[in-house]
Amino acid sequence: MARTLCAVVSLCLGSSASAFAASPISYDGGVTLIEETDRESTSLGVHLTVDPRLAVGLRSEWDRHNDALLSGVRVTGLVHRWHGRNYQANIYASFDTGVAHGVGENVARAEPFVGGVISADWETRRWFLSYMAHAYEAGDVGSTVAQMGRIGFAPYVADTGALHTWLMVEIDHRPDNPDEIGVTPLVRFFKDDALLELGWSVTDDRPLANLMYRF
């Protein structure tokens, strides 16, 4: 019960869900399960918060565009957080390393890979803005670089413990994709220790589905 209360308090700082959505960092000792699917890849990870500013975990990603499977360790740190009277903002950085190998038509043998993510978000009780850039390099298996931004609006202001709903649009830039610029409308639902995002890319007719749950 005490852990659940701590999680709710940390997630609702600034009356927002951005701290919850942006990274696996929660309360000391908290475990976060994250599944993400976008128009190029699907990933699954589990992360342990070892410090209020640091989380470590295991993560596997299927890069469908490169026919690559990457499995390894991710370390995420909270670089900085701002608390204003009516807003909250965060900057996070992640480092990935592990082993990648080809799947499907990619016949490349296993290669070590390194990758990184930088993300930032800002929000009030009504408005949300975020930016993320990520890249990895895996030798003959492949490499990628991408960036994406979001703008969101909450149609109603929910109290702590109630269901929060956000309407968002994500615009991504993927230089190695034939559809270089993607536009994905989505809806975010957030309540207690669970967050769900569902959307559909109008650029190449592919789904977006993200799930995060904290234990």
> Which one, of 65, 76, 80, 88, lies nearest residue 174 by Cα?
65
Q: Kindly indicate the confidence band of residue 17, based on its pLDDT and cuts at 50, 70 and 90.
A: very low
CA-to-CA distance for 130 and 67, rounded, in angstroms?
A: 28
- 174: tokens are 């993927």
The two three-digit tokens of residue 167, written as one number: 């309407």
pTM for this predicted structure: 0.85
Please write the tens of the pLDDT for every residue from 76-134: 999 999 988 899 999 999 999 999 999 999 999 999 999 999 999 999 999 999 999 99
**Range 53-79 burial, b when 16+ CB lie within 10 A, else e:** eebebebebbbbebbbbbbbebebbbe
At residue 139, φ and ψ (nearest 5 deg) are 55, -130
State pLDDT tens for residues 36-54: 999 999 999 999 999 989 9
Domains of the chain and CATH, by start: 2-214 (2.40.160.40)
What is the reported pLDDT for 97? 98
Q: Give the C-alpha separation, 126 to 130, whole Å.
A: 14
pLDDT at 11 (0 to 100): 34
Largest CA distance in the chain: 54
User: Quick one: which H or E segment has residue 26?
Assistant: none
